[in-house]
């Protein structure tokens, strides 16, 4: 039964593929957007908006 | 209110305080259910049976129900607080607003550890399943489990990286299949449909409580495993369309599902497998539902439960990556951790740096530590978190009494659930002490060291007033 | 109370913090393992010579299930007879209680001090 030996290699290969894809996309994203945009998320935006619209 | 709709494609996740890219609000209550139940359901497929080993089959049932009460309290308390404090980070954000920064930092770490360890345990189990399937299909020799363990973690991290909707929809499908596998197994072996194979009385004879009542206490340790992770639903708070409604609904529906699944699982497994075998999750029954299916003599059930086990481990690992990365991200956003982690992917709208960073951590634990240790660390972090919850709700009701702010859900009988929860946590601490006292002390030692590190070094980078983001009035007594 | 302005943290310093945290985490898991203090081993205290299902305390139904699972009295011997040892000393129990209570006490105390600072900055001093 060689099938499972092939599957082992396939699993290694796929893992590397998923890993590399994430890594490549991560580097691409980091270099094409500014840090300010990427880390601009703030907590509690929904609450802040409902509050503002109550006032408005 | 009519000025803008937060769920519209144009505005979602982007608010007036300068958020240019935020998490995407796309999830409904079914996704919340899938996240909560998906993480936990693997506990019925493996791990809970250590409780049988600790005190016998009856002890495991008592532990199942008492842990069920513990988690019902957790779900009620959590639903109230989180329907009011709806932000990624869940209990971390609750602690920050209600108890204080140091507690929040600790709670954030409990979350990340409980989930990352659970993810590692799931990957280990999935690797084991692959080796069982290989042996069953006639493979001779030892299968190298490592590539499969790594593949599980890598694939699910990749899925999480690419977007939350696909991730949790995937979870919804595989969780539903895994849950129905338990129902089918119950229906076809218990005698409800056709002939039953349950032999509870004969199997329990002479082994009712092999350790006496101390065994019942000891069983509480792994009794938590039936439900561990249901509190993770709160991590989705920033990604559900209407958190105040969906989170309590999804969480409470989740705990009901699990109470049913846990009791059915105990019933079918203990009615077929002798307790010594069932209770040894390492040398005996690694996957008890699967073993029950094997003894049923039906090939269809063996395959169904085999897939159920695999799907349950995948759903759980998937939910864990989701939750751990949200907590890590939320702490980065507040600069409790380096600010670099507080980034959101501009296209996929996920906390991508947190997701990528936690991959190697999970791999270290999945490849380097034995299963029961990993499970114990996960349970311990969970237990510390549940002990925090009653303190949290008591302070919450004291600082903001009913009526002072709008709550999405108000849990009944306060402070009874808090007191019950605290007492059950005390019992569970004792149960952990009976077997894993050293780890317990090591773990708390770790939290004390990181707390000192946080208080004296890390906290200087945190903006004091701005971390309090809820539009609430000043708390009473300050 | 004056508004606290946190310093901006540089890349290297951020990296350093991450390394510290990871080292502590890995340490917390692996140190008990290396010191061999981890775990909760089951032991067979009273082994049975030439075991049969009966001498292992199994009735016919229980023995039948073991056989269906592929066990013989010899292979099931350790599995069936291994037991946990739940004995403990009062000293150890008291130590644990003190550690847990002290931990939560410190946690609440430090948090409270930090929390007052947060609230007074957010809502202004009265």
Do the Cβ atoms of B246 and B409 come closer than 8 Å?
no
Identify whether B466 is part of a domain.
Answer: no
Identify whether B475 is part of a domain.
Answer: no
- Between CA B39 and CA B41 the distance in angstroms is 6
What is the Cα Rg of chain B in Å?
Answer: 22
Identify whether B98 is part of a domain.
Answer: yes
Contact B346 A25 (CB under 8 A): no
Q: How buried is B353 (Cβ within 10 angstroms: 0-12 exposed, 13-18 middle, 19+ buried)?
A: buried
- Between CA B62 and CA C100 the distance in angstroms is 25
C-alpha to C-alpha distances, B264 to B64, B268, B276, nearest whole angstrom: 11, 6, 20
CB contacts of B450 in chain C (<8 Å) are 21, 24
Do the Cβ atoms of B143 and B126 come closer than 8 Å?
no
Interface ipTM: 0.90
Identify whether B9 is part of a domain.
Answer: no
CB contacts of B211 in chain C (<8 Å) are 83-84, 86
Query: How sure is the predictor about A55, in pLDDT bands with cuts at 50, 70 and 90?
Result: very low
| C28 contact B CB<8A | yes
What global pTM score does this model have? Answer: 0.92
Q: Output the CA torsion C53→B296→B257→B213 (10° steps).
A: -10
Contact A18 B353 (CB under 8 A): no
Identify whether B477 is part of a domain.
Answer: no
Q: What confidence score (pLDDT) does residue A46 get? A: 60
Angle between helices B243-270 and B164-189 (to 10 degrees): 30
**Contacting residues for C105 by C-beta, under 8 A, at least 6 apart:** none
Contact call for C and A: 3+ CB–CB distances under 8 Å: no
Identify whether B237 is part of a domain.
Answer: yes
Q: What confidence score (pLDDT) does residue C37 get? A: 65
> How far is A23 from chain B, CA to nearest CA, in Å?
8
C-alpha to C-alpha distances, B416 to B154, B393, B424, B428, C35, nearest whole angstrom: 43, 11, 12, 18, 42
Among B13, B19, B138, whose Cβ lies nearest the Cβ of A1?
B138
Identify whether B444 is part of a domain.
Answer: yes
Q: What confidence score (pLDDT) does residue C19 get? A: 92
Among B1, B144, B330, whose Cβ lies nearest the Cβ of A53?
B1
- Between CA B280 and CA B96 the distance in angstroms is 40
| B241 contact A CB<8A | no
How many pairs of residues across B and C have Cβ atoms under 8 Å apart?
204
How many pairs of residues across A and B have Cβ atoms under 8 Å apart?
142
Q: What confidence score (pLDDT) does residue B18 get? A: 64
Q: What confidence score (pLDDT) does residue B184 get? A: 96
CA angle C108, C109, C113 (to 5 degrees): 110
Contact C24 B436 (CB under 8 A): no
Which of helix, strand or coil describes residue C83? strand
B touches which chains (3+ CB pairs under 8 A)?
A: A, C
Q: What confidence score (pLDDT) does residue B8 get? A: 41
- Between CA C119 and CA B100 the distance in angstroms is 10
Please report, in tens digits, the pLDDT of each residue of chain B (478 residues total). 334 444 444 444 444 456 778 899 999 999 999 999 999 999 999 989 999 999 999 999 999 999 999 999 999 999 999 888 888 889 999 999 999 999 999 999 999 999 999 999 999 999 989 998 888 888 888 899 999 999 999 999 999 999 999 999 999 999 999 999 999 999 999 988 877 899 999 999 999 999 999 999 999 999 999 999 999 999 999 999 988 889 999 999 999 999 999 999 999 999 999 999 999 988 889 899 999 999 998 999 999 999 999 999 999 999 999 999 999 999 999 999 999 999 999 999 999 999 999 999 999 999 988 887 788 888 899 999 999 999 999 999 999 999 999 898 999 999 999 999 999 999 999 999 988 888 888 889 889 999 999 999 999 999 998 899 988 999 999 8
Q: What confidence score (pLDDT) does residue C55 get? A: 93
Among B93, B339, B359, whose Cβ lies nearest the Cβ of A39?
B339
Note down the domain range covering B291: 29-461
Identify whether B382 is part of a domain.
Answer: yes
Q: Which residue of B has its CA nearest to C105?
A: B103
Do the Cβ atoms of B322 and B297 come closer than 8 Å?
no
CB contacts of A26 in chain B (<8 Å) are 352-353, 356
Token pair recorded at residue B286 = 């690694």
Q: B335: number of CA atoms within 13 Å, CB side?
A: 20
Total number of domains in chain B: 1
| C57 contact B CB<8A | yes
Mean pLDDT, rounded, of chain A: 82
Contact B218 C37 (CB under 8 A): no
C-alpha to C-alpha distances, B193 to B125, B177, B185, nearest whole angstrom: 31, 20, 10
Query: How sure is the predictor about C30, in pLDDT bands with cuts at 50, 70 and 90?
Result: confident
Q: What confidence score (pLDDT) does residue A54 get? A: 43
> How far is C33 from chain B, CA to nearest CA, in Å?
8
Query: How sure is the predictor about C38, in pLDDT bands with cuts at 50, 70 and 90?
Result: low
> How far is B445 from chain C, CA to nearest CA, in Å?
8
What is the Cα Rg of chain C in Å?
Answer: 28
CB contacts of B102 in chain C (<8 Å) are 107, 110-111, 114
Do the Cβ atoms of B356 and B153 come closer than 8 Å?
no
Among A38, A44, A53, whose Cβ lies nearest the Cβ of B343?
A38
Chain centroid to Cα B278, Å, comes to 23
Among B436, B449, B465, whose Cβ lies nearest the Cβ of C122?
B465
Phi-psi region of C94 (alpha: psi -120 to 50; beta: other; left: phi over 0): alpha
| B366 contact A CB<8A | no
CB contacts of B370 in chain C (<8 Å) are 33, 39
- Between CA B83 and CA B237 the distance in angstroms is 8
CATH number for the domain harbouring residue B451? 1.20.1740.10
| C23 contact B CB<8A | no
Contact B435 C122 (CB under 8 A): no
Widest CA span of chain A, in angstroms? Answer: 72
Average confidence (pLDDT) over C85-113: 93
Contact C86 B340 (CB under 8 A): no
**Contacting residues for B158 by C-beta, under 8 A, at least 6 apart:** A18, A19, A21, A22
């Amino acid at each position: 039964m060689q099938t499972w030996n092939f599957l082992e290699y396939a699993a290694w290969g796929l893992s590397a593929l998923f890993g590399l894809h994430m890594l490549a996309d991560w580097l691409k994203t980091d270099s094409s957007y500014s840090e300010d945009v990427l880390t601009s998320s703030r907590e509690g935006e929904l609450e802040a908006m409902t509050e503002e619209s109550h006032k408005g | 209110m009519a000025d803008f709709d937060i769920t519209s494609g144009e505005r979602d996740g982007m608010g007036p305080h300068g958020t240019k890219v935020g998490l995407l609000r796309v999830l409904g209550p079914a996704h919340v259910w899938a996240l909560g139940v998906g993480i936990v359901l693997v506990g019925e497929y493996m791990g809970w049976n250590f409780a049988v080993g600790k005190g016998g089959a009856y002890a495991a049932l008592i532990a199942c129900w008492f842990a069920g009460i513990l988690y019902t309290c957790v779900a009620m308390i959590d639903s109230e607080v989180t329907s009011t404090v709806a932000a990624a980070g869940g209990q971390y954000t609750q602690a920050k607003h209600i108890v204080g920064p140091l507690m929040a930092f600790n709670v954030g770490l409990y979350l990340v550890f409980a989930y990352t360890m659970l993810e590692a345990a799931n990957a280990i189990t999935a690797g084991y399943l692959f080796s069982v399937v290989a042996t069953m299909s006639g493979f001779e020799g030892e299968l190298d489990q490592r590539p499969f363990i790594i593949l599980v973690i890598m694939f699910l991290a990749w899925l999480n990286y690419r977007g939350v909707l696909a991730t949790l929809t995937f979870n919804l499908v595989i969780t539903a299949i895994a849950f129905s596998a338990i129902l089918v197994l119950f229906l076809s072996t218990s005698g409800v449909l056709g002939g039953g194979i349950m032999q509870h009385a004969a199997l329990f004879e002479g082994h009712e409580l092999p350790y006496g009542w101390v065994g019942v206490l000891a069983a509480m340790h792994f009794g938590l495993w039936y439900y561990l992770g249901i509190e993770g639903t709160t991590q989705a708070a920033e990604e559900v369309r209407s958190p105040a409604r969906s989170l309590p609904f999804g969480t409470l529906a989740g705990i009901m599902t699990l109470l049913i699944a846990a009791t059915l699982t105990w019933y079918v497994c203990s009615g077929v497998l002798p307790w010594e075998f069932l209770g040894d999750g390492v040398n005996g029954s690694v996957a008890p539902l699967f073993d029950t299916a094997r003894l049923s003599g039906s090939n269809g059930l063996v395959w169904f439960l085999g897939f159920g086990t695999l799907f349950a481990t995948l759903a759980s690992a998937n939910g864990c990556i989701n939750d751990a990365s949200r907590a890590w991200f939320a702490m980065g956003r507040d600069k409790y951790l380096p600010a670099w982690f507080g980034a959101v992917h501009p296209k996929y709208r996920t906390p991508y740096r947190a997701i990528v960073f936690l991959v190697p951590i999970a791999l270290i634990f999945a490849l380097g530590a034995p299963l029961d240790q990993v499970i114990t660390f996960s349970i311990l972090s969970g237990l510390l978190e549940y002990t925090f919850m009653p303190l949290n709700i008591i302070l919450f009701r004291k600082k903001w009494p009913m009526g002072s702010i709008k709550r999405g859900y108000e849990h009944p009988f306060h402070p009874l659930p808090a007191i019950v929860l605290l007492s059950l946590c005390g019992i569970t601490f004792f149960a952990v002490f009976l077997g894993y006292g050293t780890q317990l002390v090591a773990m708390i030692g770790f939290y004390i060291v990181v707390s000192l590190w946080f208080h004296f070094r890390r906290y200087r980078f945190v903006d004091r007033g701005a971390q309090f983001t809820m539009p609430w009035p000043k708390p009473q007594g300050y | 109370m004056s508004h606290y302005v946190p310093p901006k943290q540089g890349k290297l310093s951020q990296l350093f913090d991450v390394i510290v945290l990871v080292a502590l985490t890995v340490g917390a898991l692996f140190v008990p393992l290396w010191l061999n203090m981890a775990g909760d081993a089951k032991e067979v205290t009273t082994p049975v010579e030439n075991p049969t299902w009966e001498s292992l305390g199994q009735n016919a139904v229980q023995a039948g299930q073991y056989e269906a699972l592929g066990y013989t009295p010899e292979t099931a011997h350790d599995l069936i007879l291994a037991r946990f040892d739940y004995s403990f000393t009062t000293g150890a129990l008291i130590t644990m209680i003190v550690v847990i209570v002290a931990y939560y006490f410190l946690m609440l105390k430090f948090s409270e001090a930090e929390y007052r600072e947060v609230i007074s900055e957010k809502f202004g001093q009265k």
